[in-house]
Amino acid sequence: MRQEPHRLVFLDETSTTTKMTRLRGRAPRGGRLLADAPFGHWGSQTFVAGLRCNELIAPWVIDGAMNSAIFDTYIETQLAPSLAPGDIVILDNLSPHKSKASQALLKAQGNWLLFLPPYSPDLNPIEMAFAKLKAHLRRLKAPSETSAVSSNQPNAGTTSRPQDMPTIKRTEL
């Protein structure tokens, strides 16, 4: 793998809610800060994607939280078609990720699965891309933060620049 880092696919998901509105801001001294914030009904969406060394692949947005059935659908319809035999999918230990159906599908396609140690988000570089995505969504000041992911921001899932991506040292692979 040291010679082929492009075969690594880091997979994870993040959630966005309408409660992501910034709680602080700047205003003239003695003035009041005026900003919009959602009130009352709130919702959440989950954004799931894979990260290669040079691109974000198979981005997908769902309403609500991730479960095994949704994860199986994501693997079958989004991720598996974008993988080549021999690619290595690296996941955290979320219980839907351990779905037998998804594991069987990826292994039948010739892909490898590796699970990160528990409680180690620092080992998954896609977390940094998600941090940039959430900062971008907060900056948009959208009335519904989740609507920015799904509809009116076509590049919301690709806000990370190559220089923002962590460099993976070949000696660490």
Distance in angstroms between the alpha carbons of the first and the last residue of the chain: 6
- CA dihedral 15→93→58→84, nearest 10 degrees, is 180
Average pLDDT for 32-57: 83
User: What is the pLDDT, as a whole number, of residue 171?
Assistant: 41
pLDDT in tens, 83-117: 999 999 999 999 999 999 999 999 999 999 999 99
CB 95 within 8 A of CB 83: no
* DSSP E strand stretches across the chain: 8-17, 44-51, 56-63, 88-91, 112-115
Domain boundaries, the chain: 5-17+44-154
Q: Which of 16-25, 69-78, 113-122 has the lowest mean pLDDT?
A: 16-25
Q: What share of the chain is helix, strand, coil (3-state, %, to 5)?
A: 40, 20, 40
- Among 116, 129, 113, 118, residue whose Cα is nearest residue 79: 113
The larger pLDDT score, comparing residue 140 to residue 113, is at 113
What are the structure tokens assigned to 78, written together?
């989004």
As given in the structure block, the two tokens for residue 28 are: 């003239």
Please tell me the pTM assigned to this model.
0.73
* DSSP conformation class of 141: T
What percent of the chain clears pLDDT 90, i.e. is strictly above it? 45
**Strand, helix or coil for residue 59:** strand
Mean of all residue pLDDT scores within the chain: 80
Q: What's the pLDDT at 111?
A: 96
pLDDT at 141: 64
Which one, of 165, 157, 161, 162, lies nearest residue 49 by Cα?
A: 157
25, pLDDT greater than 50: yes
Pick the CATH number of 5-17+44-154 from 3.30.750.80, 3.40.50.10260, 3.30.420.10, 3.40.50.150: 3.30.420.10
What digits encode the pLDDT tens for the residues 150-168? Answer: 544 444 444 444 444 444 4
pLDDT of residue 147 exceeding 60, the answer is: no
Please tell me the predicted confidence (pLDDT) of residue 142. Answer: 53
